[in-house]
Structures are given as C-alpha cells and as structure tokens.
Chains A and B, each alone.
Chain A
C-alpha cells in the first residue's frame, strides 16, 4: 500500500514539474482514486450508501469471471491476449478523450473492455480486436459525451462495425472448442480443426440441424469466445439480479418472449424458426440478455419501459434470426432497441404523468 502511495506521489511530483506530462493528470487521478478512495464527506444526508460505481462495475466483472475462465479453457490462452488488446486500445481512446476534455476517467470502460472480446469469434485477428474496441468506445460512447450519455452499448457498436466491415473474418471462421483434459489452459489456441465448423444457428439455418441442448449448455459448440458457456452466463446473470445490480424485468421479458414467440411462428414457417428451447440456448442470446441489454445507460429506466424493451428485443431477435440473412439477431436487436430507448421512456412517462 505504501509502495503504491510512494509511486503515485513521485509521479505526481514529476508531473508538477514537467509541462507536457501535466496533460496526463487524469490518468494519475484515476489511479489515485482507484487505489485510495475518496476523502470527501457528505453534507445532507449525513450518511450515504457504501456502493459506488467502482464496486458496481467490479461486480459485473465478477459475474463475467466464470464465463471468461471457461472461455480460456475452450479457446486457449490466446483469449487472454484478445482481452488485453481490447482493454489496451479501448482504454487508450478513453484516456485520450479524458485528457482532451480535462475530465476524470470513468469506470464504465472496465466492463466494456471485457464484454467486447467475449462477443468476438475465437480466431479473430488481434488487429481486428483493436480496431473494433477503438471504434466501439469512440463511436459507441465518447462522441455522445462519455459514460452516462451514450445511446448505444459500446461493445455492441464495435461488434456490429466489425461484422459489417469484415464479414469474412467475423462470420466464417469458427472453431470447435477444446473438450479434453486441461484443454485451453495449456494450449495457446486450437489449430486442429479450426475453420471447419459453423455455429449452431448457422447449422440450423442451412441444414435444419438442432444441436443437443446439453452441449449448448456446457459450451461444447462453436460460437463467440464468451457466449458458449451458457450455464456460467446464467449463473452470472442471476448473481447480478440477486445483488440488485441488474433489474430482473428486462432479461425476463426478453428471454420469455424468445421462448414463447417461436412456438407461434414455428407453426407458420417451421423451417425458418427454431423452437424456443433452441433459440434460448443458441447464439449470444443469454450473454446479450443478461449483460448487454441490461446496461443501465442504454436500456429504459422505467419499469414498464423495461418490460416493453424486453418484449421488443425478443420479438426482433427471433425475426432477425428467422427471416433475415444474418444470424446475429441478438446484436442487431439490442442496437435497434438502444436507439428506441429514449422513445420508450418518453412514451411511458407520457402515460404515467398524464395531465389530469
């Protein structure tokens, strides 16, 4: 503790002297606050909750840990490199904007930087990760004014940009995960049957094959880095809901719609729409529903709005998966509903506060 204090004090001293180093003040402040907390005291009320944004974000990361560890097992140690690149380049943009704006660095990026690599294909080249992370933070968040003002989820924005800009890299190269022994913990990456398989959603679309649910649940299927270990995602999501950090309404509405709606559409065109159980356990649905659609900034803040958004998300996801050329229904529907969030809230408020 004292060592860190000394380091920070020394660096601060250096910054006082050097004019150019002074611009990096926000970085120092962020570090200082990160390690030592605040010395400010309350005015009224005299006591405040012990929860702060740092702990809030740390808990989201804790909830993502099982998935992250499992993804290392499935896809090899290279996942760590992908995460590091995502943090480094996304963080760079964050720091640049903080210096440019002369504002402090906010903690929101801690979560974005981890979620973003989890929704990329395992074989993604590192430069693509860097480009996507930078794009996501810049155009998903910073151009709108930073944390709390963004319209779109930065991770989703980055991912969609990559999907459209590099369709070949993002949609063609899928690997089968490690499944034996220590798996990815002792391998850098899977080379044996890389680029040979397709994701369960694509298999259904092309051949009408439905993967076994147990395999989907425990990660034995192709897919993005963090979306295949579904049992871990469910546990992580429930953990956040129990901790009261995430509201249960939106995930419930989303998942319920995805389960129920296909039963109706399956009757109409059953080659296009898979049944609810498969829809639930395939693609990035669970990761999206628990960790991305619930991002408080970009989802409606009214309770009714959350029900509505959840329902629309489910509806759109099933439609996009069933009828469009893309299988990335979750990603596109979250982006679309993010854009509609202010409208949903406004409508709810209009109804709630109708003039008597």
Chain B
C-alpha cells in the first residue's frame, strides 16, 4: 500500500552535486589478479579453506564456518591461489586470499538447487541458497537465515525495511538498479524474503522524487497486504538505519546497537536483488555494481566488477590526473579515504567517489557569488540556480574559529542532540554523566554537524573523543539503552561495524 510522504526533523538535502553517475552500466574486464578479504560485510573473519597452489573456480567457496556468525566467501575468478596473507584493510588486519586468474571465461557455475520457480522450494533450501551465495552478509546486520548469518533467527524478524532513498551527496542510480526486468526480480526477491521471515511486515522506502518508480512498484504490489511503500524525502541521513526505524516504524532506535536487536532487518536494493539471483539463478555473490561518482572522474557511470578487483583496475584510465584527487569509499561524509589503490573491493562497496583535493587558496573566496558552492545557508548563488551543478572539493573553505553558537549543527542534527554544547563540554574536559544525559551516545556519526559548521569545528570528531573518554571512565552507551529496550541477540557476536 502506498503511504503518504514521510520525513524526520533535522537533516540536510544535498542537491545537485556535479558528477552523479549516469544510469549506464558497463562490465569491467576480468582482473588478472584478485585479492579476496576473508571478512566481507557482516560477520567474523573466516579461515581460508584453500592454500597456496590450489586451483579454484569462480564461485567456489573458499571460506565457510557454520559455527560462528558469518557467511561463506567465494573465489571470484577461475585461477590459482597465489598466497594467503594478512593485509591492513580499512584499519583492520584482515586475511586475504590472492588468486591469479588463469581462465578468462566469464562463466559462473550455479549453486545447486536453485529454481526460477522458487515457490516450490522448501524454506530450508531457500535459506541455504541465500546463505551459500554470500548475500546474507550484506548490510549492517546481514540477512537472517537458519545458518548463523545474523544475530537473530528469521522468525524473530518483525519488520523488514528495504530502502532505496539515496540521501547521500552521491547515490547509486535507482533507475539503473530497478531497470526493466530487474524491477520484477527485485519484487520476487522481496517475496522470497517475506517467505523466510514469515512474521515480518515489509516496508519499502523509496526516494519521493522518483515518481515513476514509486508508481510502478505501487501498481505491481497493490495485491500484497503485507507490503507498504513509503516515499521518503531524500534528506541526509535518511538512509541510515537509525533514521529509517523512527521515520517508518515510529519507534525509538537503540543508538549504539543495531536494528536487528529490536527485530528489524534493513536491506538495500542491491541486497534484495542478490537474494533473487541467489535463489532463482543460483549466482554466488561475487559481482557488485559500483557507482563511480565525483567531478574528478572522466565519465561518471556504473560498473559491474568482480569482488576482489583492486581499485587500481577500476580507477586507472577513469580518474582525471591533472589535479590531485581524493578517492573516498561509499560516502563523502563518513566514508573511508582510499589512499592505497592496491586494495580490493569487497561485497560492501557501492560507490567510489573522486573529488579534487583542493589545497590552492582562493582569492577573496568569501566574497564570490558562489555559483557552484553548496551550503546549508542560502547565502550562495547556487541556491537560486537549481540547474547549476555544485562542485564539491576537500578545501575547508575557511579558518577554524571559536563557536558562535549559531545553532546550525543543532538544527541539522537528526538525532536531536546539541553538538556544539557537547563539544564545549568535551573540549573543557568536563566529562561526566551530564553529557551522557545530553545524549552524547545518541550520536550516529553522520557528520552533518561538522559539515554545516561555519566555524569549521570538527564537531563529529570531538563528540567521538568525548564518547571514548566517557567509556574509559566506565560510562557506556549500554546504560542509556538497556534499561529502556528489550533487545534481542545481544549475547551473540556484535558485529556492528561503523565504517
């Protein structure tokens, strides 16, 4: 059923950034060498089942452990294992299997037992297919199956939220993901998920500006009474689990824990498509669609790559090299900076963003009309010219100054805390229960406060420091959450990874 438009208080809409990926997809050529991390997405790191010299084929399981919370990991090419070693991967030492491609065939063998007529398959079989394909490790808490792929079993899921809001400055194209047959596949995927989580209600949230897609989906799902469609304002950080739960379910979120703890599973559209492909086509999840965005890219489009392809293979030829560039993974506000381009992509990559690293100083920059400058205030010309694309860069655009309590950070904060107040407490080292009471542990690290601050204070970082210091003093976010929530599955491994 189509529901009225919803949104939340605070937040900020990033409009019209230059370098949005076109809804076009090309396949990247098979890499000569892949590096496959043994921890991808949600779950513990696994032990390699292959060793140096082993011959592997694309889609072969190279790591699996049913006794811990995890999902299997596959080889993404046909080849020979060169080495298994530990590499620093996003600030974490992670074991990697390095495979040299020997056979350039693009064929991927199917997982046994898949069927286009999935309604005939038993629940056990469907769950097994989802688990074996590796899709179950996607998103923050994975997809629950009878294997330990999430912290809660499937029957405990009360709500399943599928989101394609796209509230970041750069988003993967919804039109592309749900093009033609994919839309039907996606809806099949939703039905499959509903089947394995029988007690759940499905909530589909889409960007309110994509009217076509909403209409189509609404038409196709009018018969399903367990499915609701919510058009949401694309205000950052609407795509966060912490914001989706309050906006859609009118429920408080246990900040610092995951949605799964309150029986909610949140998946994005690629994950649901992956479920369909796993169950109906038997495809292991070794390919990923990545949006290549940002003004420093020659041609902004989407590419389909094998998991384990190094960033070098993706970015070579695509990045403008005339000026220095900063490459960021997934989100311009919270994503990791990718300094080492020999690192591989894993299942969790969805965007690679390249923006100019602008160290040059700009003459009288504060007096410029600002045709391409984005700002929370309306004090730039860009606000009046909606057709002009705004160009982001990494310059700070101003000197750090003392806080003047302008209140921008409070007005944009999605979780209703007062960042500048907390930052003042932390900077003066007044770290005690007061700031816990002011909700310092509610911070979801979306980075909006640091973004809007005209005094260029790194509020997010200061608040995070405050949290760490407070934790060292023995105060924990658990004290704010546990007395008020009845959480599930917290004795299990907590794999909440804040990237």
Enumerate chain A interface residues (CB-CB to B < 8 A). 1, 33, 35-56, 58-59, 104, 106-108, 146-149, 242-245, 247, 296-297, 301-302, 349, 353, 355-356
Contacts and interface: CB of A to CB of B under 8 A. Distances in A.
A41 B357 contact: yes
B399 A104 contact: yes
A75 to B, nearest CB: 28
B226 interface: no
8 contacts: A36-B361, A39-B360, A49-B375, A49-B454, A51-B379, A54-B398, A244-B377, A297-B405
Contacts of A107: 401
B182 interface: no
A98 B362 CA distance: 25
> Top 9 nearest A-B pairs by Cβ distance?
A52-B398, A148-B402, A45-B447, A50-B373, A54-B366, A45-B333, A37-B365, A55-B366, A36-B361
Output the residue of A49, A104, A108 with the most chain B CB within 10 A. Answer: A49
Contacts of B458: 43-44
Contact of A52 (B361, B392, B456): B456
Interface in B448-482: 450-456, 458, 460-461
A49 B405 contact: no
Given A37-B365, A245-B379, A44 B461 contact: yes
Contact of B363 (A35, A47, A48, A356): A35
A165 to B, nearest CB: 29
B332 A45 contact: yes
B437 A355 contact: yes
Contact of A50 (B335, B375, B439): B375
B46 interface: no
Given A37-B361, A48-B450, 10 more contacts: A1-B363, A33-B399, A35-B364, A38-B361, A41-B359, A42-B396, A48-B397, A296-B404, A301-B421, A302-B418
A50 B390 CA distance: 11
Contact of B407 (A38, A58, A243, A296): A296
B410 interface: yes
Given A106-B401, A243-B378, A301-B407, A48 B359 contact: no
B118 interface: no
A94 B50 CA distance: 70
Contact of A37 (B169, B363, B404, B484): B363
Interface in B415-449: 418, 420-421, 437-439, 447
Nearest to B362: A37
A281 B377 CA distance: 29
A301 B334 contact: no
Nearest to A104: B399
Contacts of A247: 407
Contacts of B357: 41
B404 A44 contact: no
A49 B378 contact: no
A244 B376 contact: yes
A50 B380 contact: yes
B401 A53 contact: yes
B326 interface: yes
A2 to B, nearest CB: 10
Contacts of A37: 361-366, 395, 397-398
Given A35-B364, A39-B360, A349 B398 contact: no
A33 B379 CA distance: 20
Nearest to A353: B437
Contact of A51 (B169, B332, B410, B454): B454
A37 B397 CA distance: 7
Contacts of A48: 396-397, 450-451, 453, 456
Contact of A58 (B366, B395, B410): B366
Contacts of A59: 379
Contacts of A51: 375-377, 379-380, 397-398, 452, 454
A302 to B, nearest CB: 8
A349 B461 contact: no
B379 A44 contact: no
A53 B455 contact: yes
Interface in B353-375: 355, 357-367, 370, 373-375
B348 interface: no
Contacts of B395: 37-42
A301 B377 contact: no
A61 B417 CA distance: 31
B393 interface: yes
A301 B394 contact: no
A42 B452 CA distance: 13
Given A39-B360, A104-B399, A353-B439, A49 B366 contact: no
A46 B333 contact: yes
Contacts of A147: 401-402, 404
Given A51-B379, A244-B377, A46 B337 contact: yes
B301 to A, nearest CB: 21
